């Protein structure tokens, strides 16, 4: 929202958050010879030809919708007036899964949360269970929001990446793809393991062998594109394709 405000809504955005090798402790960005731990580095791209941007995730809601009754930024305190950690424990029992509050990442990777919006469900990855029974997430969850547990499979993640590429290609208005940048969540790679290679293979097949491809797994993905699901995302594939000059 701040970027959109500062740029008067005149720009499209794509990208991702810096990482720290899945330590989830502190991240850095740099420009020139300066490094920052709480900042954004942006590159302005001006082009007479359209850039193709696509955004898609492969998760779907499961279980009952819940109301966020208390939250503090990225700290989810309670759902339906029940401590967040207890809600996760109950959901694990109902779905016959193992949930260890001392080591919750294996559960969180396969059971993320999402905020219901008019455009769809915006994913929010849980990271840790705090001593007070709250759950720390990778992004803000506003008080009063309606959220759901979400489920996904390797095949649905692969399909989401393909859909993002197909959308980006369609936005080139018939121009041939020259190069592409791809961002997906570090949580997606940790969850899929070796199967993440299937996602990359699908990207390469959709783009064609002559299109150069680069990218990274990020802590959250950024996208602001007309007619698409915009904002700050988790576990979401974001693709930007540059047309041949």
| Domain enclosing residue 105, as ranges | 60-151
Question: What would the pLDDT profile of 198-244 be if each residue is shown by its tens digit?
Answer: 999 999 999 998 999 999 999 888 888 776 556 778 888 999 999 99
Flag whether pLDDT at 11 surpasses 60.
yes
What does the pLDDT read at residue 227? 61
Neighbours of 87 (CB within 10 A): 20
CA–CA separation, 53 and 117 (whole Å):
21
Q: Which of 121, 108, 38, 124 is nearest to 76 (CA)?
A: 124
Give, in order, the Cα–Cα distances in Å from 241 to each of 1, 22, 70, 107, 162.
Answer: 24, 27, 40, 34, 13
Residue 137 and residue 207 in one domain: no
Q: Which of 62, 72, 162 is nearest to 110 (CA)?
A: 62
Neighbours of 195 (CB within 10 A): 14
Residue 136 and residue 17 in one domain: no
Residue 72 and residue 83 in one domain: yes
Domain edge (last residue) among 105, 127, 151 = 151
Residue 27 and residue 67 in one domain: no
- Distance linking the first and last C-alpha atoms of the chain: 32
What does the pLDDT read at residue 138? 87
Flag whether pLDDT at 172 surpasses 90.
yes
Across residues 176-197, what is the average pLDDT?
92
Across residues 147-152, what is the average pLDDT?
96
What does the pLDDT read at residue 245? 79
What does the pLDDT read at residue 229? 53
Most confident of 46-50, 179-183, 221-225: 179-183
The count of structural domains within the chain is 2
Question: What would the pLDDT profile of 187-202 be if each residue is shown by its tens digit?
Answer: 899 899 999 999 999 9
Q: What is the dihedral of CA 202, 206, 209, 213, to 10 degrees?
A: -70
The average confidence (pLDDT) of the chain is 90
What does the pLDDT read at residue 230? 67
What does the pLDDT read at residue 1? 66
Helix (H, G, I), strand (E, B) or coil at 9: coil
Question: What would the pLDDT profile of 25-38 be if each residue is shown by its tens digit?
Answer: 788 999 999 999 98
Flag whether pLDDT at 113 surpasses 80.
yes
What does the pLDDT read at residue 6? 73
CATH number of the domain within which 189 lies: 3.30.1330
CATH number of the domain within which 104 lies: 2.40.10
What does the pLDDT read at residue 38? 83
Give, in order, the Cα–Cα distances in Å from 219 to each of 164, 186, 211.
Answer: 18, 6, 26
Flag whether pLDDT at 142 surpasses 60.
yes
What does the pLDDT read at residue 54? 92
Residue 140 and residue 159 in one domain: no
CB-based burial of residue 92 (10 Å sphere; 0-12 exposed, 13-18 middle, 19+ buried)? middle
Domain edge (last residue) among 151, 179, 207 = 151
CB-based burial of residue 144 (10 Å sphere; 0-12 exposed, 13-18 middle, 19+ buried)? exposed
CB-based burial of residue 25 (10 Å sphere; 0-12 exposed, 13-18 middle, 19+ buried)? exposed
Contact predicate 213/207, CB 8 Å? yes
Residue with token string 């991240």:
27
What does the pLDDT read at residue 96? 97
pLDDT > 90: percent of the chain: 66
């Amino acid at each position: 929202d701040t970027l959109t405000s500062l740029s008067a809504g005149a720009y499209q955005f794509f990208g991702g958050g810096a990482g720290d090798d899945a330590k989830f402790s502190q991240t850095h960005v740099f420009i020139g010879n300066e490094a920052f731990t709480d900042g954004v580095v942006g590159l302005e791209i001006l082009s007479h030809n359209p850039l193709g941007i696509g955004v898609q995730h492969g998760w779907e809601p499961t279980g009952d919708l819940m109301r966020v009754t208390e939250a503090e930024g990225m700290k989810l305190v309670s759902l339906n007036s029940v401590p967040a950690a207890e809600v996760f424990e109950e959901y694990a029992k109902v779905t016959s899964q193992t949930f260890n509050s001392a080591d919750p990442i294996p559960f969180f990777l396969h059971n993320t949360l999402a905020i219901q919006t008019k455009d769809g469900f915006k994913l929010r990855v849980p990271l840790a269970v705090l001593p007070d029974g709250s759950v720390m997430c990778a992004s803000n969850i506003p008080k009063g929001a309606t959220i759901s547990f979400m489920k996904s499979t390797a095949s649905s993640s692969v399909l989401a990446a393909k859909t993002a590429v197909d959308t980006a290609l369609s936005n080139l208005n018939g121009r041939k793809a020259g190069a592409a940048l791809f961002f997906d969540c570090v949580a997606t790679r940790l969850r899929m393991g070796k199967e993440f290679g299937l996602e990359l293979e699908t990207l390469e097949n959709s783009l064609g062998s002559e299109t150069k491809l680069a990218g990274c797994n990020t802590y959250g993905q950024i996208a602001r594109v007309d007619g698409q699901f915009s904002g700050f995302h988790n576990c979401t594939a974001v693709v930007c394709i540059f047309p041949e000059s």
